[in-house]
Amino acid sequence: MNIAVLGSGQVGQTIGSRLVHLGHAVMMGSRDEANPKAVAWAKEEKHNALFGTFANAAAFGEIIFNCTLGSASLDALYMAGAANLKGKILIDTSNPLDYSDEKHWKLIISNTDSLGEQIQRAFPETFVVKTLNTVYCTVMVDPDKLVERTDIFVSGNSAEAKAKVTMILQKWFHWKHVIDLGDITTSRGVEMYSLLWRSLRLATHSHRFNIKVVHT
């Protein structure tokens, strides 16, 4: 399958590499046609790893991953172009964070709205599914490295799109337990969790942890 990964940071590179290793053709999108990080990533992966602008990648991908800086995700997606996103599933891994105070990350959208909802409102003909934003990038594609089975969430308005993304999470990334939280408004909770994630990261001195939901 042809897949777009919008974002040349560590999430885009980690997800992109996993997809290439699974045999998919992946185009990494950036603001620049030849972003040095994307060029180096493609060189390292060799076959089936391509790079281009956000628009080139979105046009190429049958499925699109949004792995861009949360505060710039809408701009990046506008650069990708509504026509290139139309009718496609957009897997949104972003968190709307302001990192300007390194000690106290801040949400720039919260409580009554979320970045997932803003993206869905901006691109009504795209099927936005929020997922994977609650874990560190290496955990996103390799949850088996954690010592117990943990949980990952999906939020989105389309049951069909969520079913397809659940298949991707299970078959490609080996998530054994995927919890459907409901419509895209449930992005609020998973995005706001990023502040707790940050505290846990500092308290445990580790990036590699996750939530396990336990009930009676």
- The residues that touch ligand NAP, with contacts defined as CB under 6 A, are 7-12, 30-32, 35, 67-70, 72, 75-76, 93-95, 97, 133, 136-137
Of 133 and 159, CB closest to ligand NAP? 133
Cβ at position 188, least distance to ligand NAP in Å: 15
Which residue number places its CB atom closest to ligand NAP?
9
Of 132 and 159, CB closest to ligand NAP? 132
First-last CA distance in the chain:
40
Cβ at position 8, least distance to ligand NAP in Å: 4
Amino acid present at 176:
K
Q: How far apart are CA 92 and CA 33, in angstroms?
A: 22
Pairing of strands 106-107, 97-98: antiparallel
Q: Within 13 Å, how many C-alpha atoms sit on residue 2's CB side?
A: 11
Of 40 and 159, CB closest to ligand NAP? 40
Pairing of strands 2-6, 25-30: parallel
Q: Within 13 Å, how many C-alpha atoms sit on residue 25's CB side?
A: 9
Cβ at position 110, least distance to ligand NAP in Å: 14
Of 10 and 160, CB closest to ligand NAP? 10
Q: How far is CA 33 from CA 51, 86, 176, 191, in A?
A: 7, 22, 37, 30
Of 54 and 127, CB closest to ligand NAP? 54
Instruction: Give the 3-state secondary structure of residue 115.
Output: helix
Cβ at position 192, least distance to ligand NAP in Å: 13
Q: Within 13 Å, how many C-alpha atoms sit on residue 186's CB side?
A: 14
Q: How open is the CA angle 23-32-34, to the nearest 5 degrees?
A: 55
Cβ at position 97, least distance to ligand NAP in Å: 5
Of 30 and 166, CB closest to ligand NAP? 30
Q: How far apart are CA 128 and CA 126, in angstroms?
A: 6
Cβ at position 215, least distance to ligand NAP in Å: 25
